[in-house]
Each structure stands twice: as structure tokens, then as C-alpha cells.
């Protein structure tokens, strides 16, 4: 498993800011937003050794690492909401062992996603990324939310983001080869092909307010 914080601390997240809480998990790093009930951003690396044959564990579970004062989202908070428990760090990027995959089902790694977006468009980019990794590239991945919220679920405890973004940097032999960026609407009306939502990295920076490291440009 490579560096799980390749983009650095994009939002200057800290251990004491509940709206921008830095959390370092064994398989990814993130900035968590207690008021929103989901991450501001999540980042990780994917290499061939991370992709194996472990079956889907499907063990969505409440996080146990967040400090006191932060609401711990439960899997049942999404029940009857109309939204999927959408992975940020994809479980299939961590199938070397069931133990590694288990961490991706922590609710700290979930964002409410429209079913069509999660199961078709977002999934399409995830699958494309793994194909590049299987072809020999290292993928440095970061994703998050932007565009405000379009609603709340779980009695108002969890927001529903209007859009989600992702940056995938493909590297080989320590050199940047390609950067793919998207901003997608969190909607059932979304187009199936993720390429329809490709943007420049500068557009992601403008939408998020984050400044990406020079190596990704």
C-alpha cells in the first residue's frame, strides 16, 4: 500500500476542528465535517498490490475513532433516505485482504449519493482507475464534495451534497503521466458516462477552494 496522503492536507484539517477534522485511517486519510455528517475530502493511493480477491465484506459500521463531541453516523441513518451509502475510498481498491477492505465500510468514508450516480457514473470512473492500476500505473486519488447541499437526511443530521469531485493522478516510475478530474452532479438525472463530467484541475480548485500540490499539475 502506498502513501495514503499523497495530496497533503488540502484544507489544513486539524485534530480540534470538528468541521475540518483530520482523520488518518489505515487505508486512507480524510477531513471530516461533523455538521455535514460526511467527509470534506478523502485521499488514498492504489497500486497493484492493493487489488486482490477478497470478497465484498459489506460490513457497514459506525466509526469508533472520532473524538467526543462528533456525531457518529450509523448505517441505519441512510435507511429510507433515497440515497446510497456512497464510498469515497472504494472498497474494491482495498481487496488485498478482508481486513483492509473492512476499513472502507466505516461510515466515516460514506457520503449520500444518488443511486444512479453511485452505481453507474461514479462506479465507472472507479473501474477505469483500477484498470489503469492493473496496467501498471500508480493511482493517487482524492475526492470530495462541493456546490453546497440539496437536502438533509437522518432527521437533519446528515447533509446531501449537490456535487462530488474527484482527481486521479496516474504515475509510473515516479513520474506523473496523466491527471483526470471530474465534477459530477449528485442526481438521478446524471449521464452514465463519467467522461461527460471531466474538467481541468483548475476548475476543481475553483469549486473547492483547495490548492493542489505542484506535482499534480
Cell numbers of 105, please? 465500510
Element housing 111 (H / E): strand 110-113
Which residues on neighbouring strands pair with residue 46, listed in sequence order? 139
Cα atoms in the 13 Å half-sphere on the side-chain side of 110? 27
Inform me whether the pLDDT recorded for 2 exceeds 80: no
Q: What pLDDT is stored for residue 3 in this prediction?
A: 80
DSSP string, 120-182: IIIHHHHHHHHHHHHTT-EEEEEEEEEEEEEEEEGGGTEEEEEEEEEEEEEEETTEEEEEEEE
Task: Give just the sign of the alpha carbon dihedral 32, 149, 143, 1.
Answer: positive
Distance CA 13, CA 60 (A): 25
pLDDT, tens digit, for every residue of 71-89?
Answer: 999 999 999 999 999 999 9
In the β-sheet with 138-153, what is the strand arrangement from edge to edge?
21-24, 29-33, 38-46, 138-153, 158-172, 175-185, 198-199
Q: Is 185 helix (H, G, I), strand (E, B) or coil?
A: strand
Residue 126: per-residue pLDDT: 98
- Evaluate if residue 1 carries a pLDDT over 70: no
Measured CA to CA, the distance from residue 134 to residue 125 in angstroms comes to: 14
61 is known as an active-site residue: no
Catalytic choice (18, 61, 87, 102): 87
Q: What is the pLDDT of residues 91-100, one digit of tens each?
A: 999 999 999 9
Q: Average pLDDT, whole number, for the chain? A: 97
Closest Cα partner for 77 from 33, 112, 118, 109?
Answer: 112
Amino acid at each position: 500500500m502506498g502513501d495514503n496522503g499523497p495530496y497533503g492536507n488540502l484544507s489544513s484539517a486539524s485534530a480540534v476542528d470538528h468541521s475540518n477534522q483530520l482523520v488518518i485511517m489505515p487505508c486512507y486519510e480524510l477531513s471530516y465535517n461533523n455538521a455535514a455528517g460526511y467527509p470534506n475530502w478523502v485521499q488514498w493511493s492504489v497500486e497493484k498490490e492493493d487489488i486482490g480477491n477478497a470478497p465484498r465484506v459489506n460490513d457497514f459500521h459506525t466509526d469508533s475513532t472520532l473524538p467526543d463531541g462528533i456525531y457518529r453516523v450509523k448505517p441505519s441513518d441512510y435507511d429510507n433516505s433515497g440515497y446510497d451509502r456512497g464510498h469515497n475510498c472504494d472498497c474494491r481498491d482495498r481487496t488485498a485482504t478482508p481486513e483492509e477492505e473492512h476499513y472502507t465500510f466505516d461510515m466515516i468514508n460514506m457520503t449520500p449519493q444518488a443511486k444512479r450516480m453511485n452505481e453507474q457514473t461514479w462506479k465507472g470512473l472507479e473501474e477505469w482507475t483500477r484498470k489503469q492500476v492493473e496496467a501498471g500505473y500508480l493511482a493517487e486519488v482524492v475526492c470530495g464534495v462541493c456546490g453546497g447541499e440539496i437536502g438533509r437526511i437522518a432527521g437533519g443530521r446528515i447533509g446531501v451534497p449537490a456535487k462530488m469531485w474527484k482527481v486521479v493522478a496516474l504515475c509510473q516510475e515516479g513520474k506523473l503521466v496523466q491527471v483526470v478530474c471530474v465534477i459530477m452532479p449528485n442526481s438521478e438525472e446524471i449521464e452514465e458516462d463519467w467522461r461527460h463530467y471531466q474538467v481541468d484541475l483548475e476548475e476543481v480548485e475553483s469549486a473547492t477552494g483547495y490548492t493542489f500540490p505542484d506535482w499534480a499539475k
